[in-house]
Structure 1
């Protein structure tokens, strides 16, 4: 089992202190583990011959068969980028399934879960709370920020745009950066609901424009699931529950 990398940062609600190569997965499957080793922060992990594999997915919304299928894919890390459930109902079931991959699982709250609810689930089921945190995998920095920008529905996991911007800024000096957010960047293909209607975050968009992470992953807008975009030099995906398997070399 991979050793744990060092994780920095801390999660919390809106008033908490601030602290590739790949493939879109549309079917179940697994990748055989190789014997090469890669440095993960302070530890060493068993990785594939192609590098460290991170499976990123979001917006399961209690589709347990899809979650089980995603977790059947072999990876070194699994990042659940929010909205495992709807209005926090069924969060214990999500934890039960996610713990099948144990310490390899890193969880963000979407807009349908609060930071406290996700932190509690992670503590009960041996998962990593990755909200407002980052870790180092070899030369790569991987950072996570949950919650969406405000919605018309007053869901439990929402930040204002200034709150999102303030929390993102802590990741600005990390390079090279893989950034995973629940919220997509506003006015892009990743947050398009229909022609002329977008529902992403201006703070996320501005951070990407200024800092140009190498990779960016998000969810939240179901209509954009599976969409890939190039935002300057940043390669970006709305992963949704199709998921994306990123290989870092």
Structure 2
């Protein structure tokens, strides 16, 4: 089985289509790790929805490969239900339901530890870990009624709880986790300045018996360039972050053969 993984396109639909064409020739599926849409203070949910229809869904209709995706922390959550109703859609959203490629199950998680950014749809508490130094608790949350300024607090999801429930559901299965946020304290979560900003709850989960055999990540664009590493073993799992595809396509081709995983990174 072969999988092509990309992440953090931030509106670069040309790189998405390029990856889809490569996957069509080389892979059984294309997986996308979030932050697909354009961002900016003036980009509303309706703008991102229009981008999805015109720049993602319509161009991908003619591509003969399965496409699975999750949202990232800059993708407005309120659009998910609209995407569910979009038919025919070439994108299977792992936020809405799990996926499958052959005998391999797929699950997705968009939540990230609380960020310094203004969009808060996917910000979450990270187990009992302290907030990161530059975390901002107040920001914008989307709903069917539009955007609302809100403070992260009671009712905010906890990444540890999300992963625990996912582990129960996937127990005994061969599965891949597509998580926008990488695990903490690894070569995959190093931000500028050398600070680790990944999820501690995720790192702990990857050492449990319910852990996936492979996890795919994004969010921290610069980490592969800083550390020189794209993949490393974390607990029971091979975890990978190829970096963002904003300026050029950065993709990871993974070949799954039994218990072996062979990967090749390329950009262009």
The alpha carbon displacement at 1:99 in A equals 3.6
Kindly name which structure, 1 or 2, has the bigger radius of gyration based on alpha carbons: 2
- CA–CA separation in structure 2 for the residues paired with 1:103 and 1:196: 38
Deviation of the 1:174 alpha carbon: 4.3
Superposition deviation, residue 61 in structure 1: 0.6
Q: Name which of 57, 65, 74 aligns with 1:95.
A: 57
Structure 1's 119 and 78: CA in aligned 2 closer, same or farther, altered over 3 A? farther
- SS of 1:205's partner is helix
Provide the residue aligned with 1:135 in structure 2.
99
Q: Does the CA contact (< 8 Å) of 1:132 and 1:145 recur in 2?
A: no
Describe the shift of the 1:105–1:137 C-alpha distance in structure 2 as closer, same or farther (beyond 3 A).
closer
SS at match of 1:243: strand
Instruction: Determine whether 1:53 maps to 2:2.
Output: yes
Give the CA deviation at 1:114. 2.8
The answer for the alignment partner of 1:170 in structure 2 is 165
- Report SS of the residue matched to 1:110: coil
Query: How far is the alpha carbon of 1:111 from its aligned partner?
Result: 0.3
TM superposition shift of 1:238: 0.3
On the 8 A contact 2:178/2:217 being kept in 1, the answer is yes
Distance 2:236 2:115 in 1: 29
Q: CA distance change for structure 1 residues 149 and 140 in 2, over 3 Å: closer, same or farther?
A: same
| TM-aligned CA distance change 1:137 to 1:105, over 3 Å | closer
Q: Secondary structure at the match of 1:222?
A: coil
Find the aligned partners of 1:132 and 1:164 in 2 and give their Cα distance.
17
What is the CA-CA distance between 1:133 and the residue it aligns to? 3.6
Q: 5+ unaligned residues in a row in structure 2: which ranges?
A: 40-44, 128-157, 258-268
- Whether 2:75 is the aligned partner of 1:80: answer no
Task: Note the alpha carbon deviations across 1:101-160, whole angstroms, 9 max, x for none.
Answer: 377222211001133324423532512121164334444222211232211113233222
Residues in 1 aligned to 2:254 and 2:84: alpha-carbon distance in whole angstroms: 23
The normalised TM-score by structure 2 is 0.65
Aligned equivalent of 2:133:
none
Q: Provide structure 1 residue ranges, at least 5 long, that are not aligned to the other structure.
A: 1-51
When structure 1 is superposed on structure 2, of 79-88 and 184-193 the one drifting more is 79-88
The more displaced of 135-144 and 183-192 is 135-144
Once the two structures are overlaid, the 10-residue window that deviates more, 57-66 or 159-168, is 159-168
